[in-house]
Amino acid sequence: MTITYQGKQLKIILTDIEGTTTDISFVHDVLFPYSAKHLSAWVRNHLELPITQDILQQVREITGKSNLDIDGCISQLMSWQAEDQKITPLKTLQGLIWQEGYDKSELKAHLYADAVEYLQKWHDGGLTLAIYSSGSIAAQKLLFGNTLIGDLTPLFSAYFDTTTGNKKESQSYVAIANALSVLPQEILFLSDSLKELVAASEANLNVCGLNRDAVDVDDDFTYVNKFSQIALEYL
C-alpha cells in the first residue's frame, strides 16, 4: 500500500506535541507549574546523581559563570522556567521532575482523542511515527507512556528534541530526515506553530497546521482542526 499526502508519497509522520497532540493547557497549567514547584527541592535532593551535576555544569557553561554555586544555578533554572526558555539543561531537569510525578501518579498526560485514534490508525497502516518537541526526549516518552488510556510509546519509532536543533530552523528538519534515512519530502510534519511549519517547509518537508482553537491562520499552509481532517490517500 502506498500512502500519499497532497500527491507525495509518505513514509514518516513527524508530530509536535504541545497544541498538536496535547492541549496547551496541560503543558502550561499542569506540567510547568509542577516542575516549578518541585525544581529547587529536586535538585537539592539529588545532588549525588551524575545527571544533576551535569545539569548544573551546563548551566554554568551557558551563563559563562564557571563558579556559579548551587543556589545560583537553581535561581537561573527557575528564571529560565519562568521565561519558558527552550534550554537543554532545563528541559532535562523538567523531564526528571515529571518522571517522579508520573511515578507517584500525581501526573497523567492529556492527549486529544482524535490524535490517539489517528496515530494508531497511521501506525497500523504502515507509516512510521516520530515526535519532535522542545521538551526532552525523556519527557516525551513519559508523556506518551503515562496517558489516561495507557502507554502509547509503542506507536513511535523515534523522538527528537532541542539536542537536534531549534524547531524554528530549517536545518533541524534536514537533520531529522537524515536521522530517519528518508527524503524530506517523504515526511509530513504536524504542528500548531507557524514558525515551525515555515522552517519544516523550507527543508522540503510536507507540513500541515493544527488550528484547534479556530484562530486566524496563514494562507500559505493547509490547516485542519483535528487529525481526522488530515487528508491522507491510500493507494
**Which pLDDT does position 114 carry in this prediction?**
96
**Which pLDDT does position 220 carry in this prediction?**
83
**Which pLDDT does position 215 carry in this prediction?**
63
Task: For residues 182 and 8, give the distance between their C-alpha atoms in angstroms, rounded to a whole number.
Answer: 13
Cell of 192: 500548531
**Which pLDDT does position 216 carry in this prediction?**
61
The DSSP-derived string for 31-100 is IHHHHHHHHHHHHHHTTTSHHHHHHHHHHHHHHT-TT--HHHHHHHHHHHHHTT---HHHHHHHHHHHHH
3-22+109-234 matches 27-103 in fold: no
27-103 adopts what CATH topology?
1.10.720
Annotated domain spans of the chain: 3-22+109-234, 27-103
Beta-bridge partner residues of 62: none
The predicted model scores a pTM of 0.85
CATH fourth-level superfamily of 3-22+109-234: HAD superfamily/HAD-like (3.40.50.1000)
- As averages over each run of 10 residues, the pLDDT of the chain (235 residues) reads 93 96 92 96 97 97 96 97 92 92 92 96 96 91 92 97 94 98 98 95 97 73 93 90
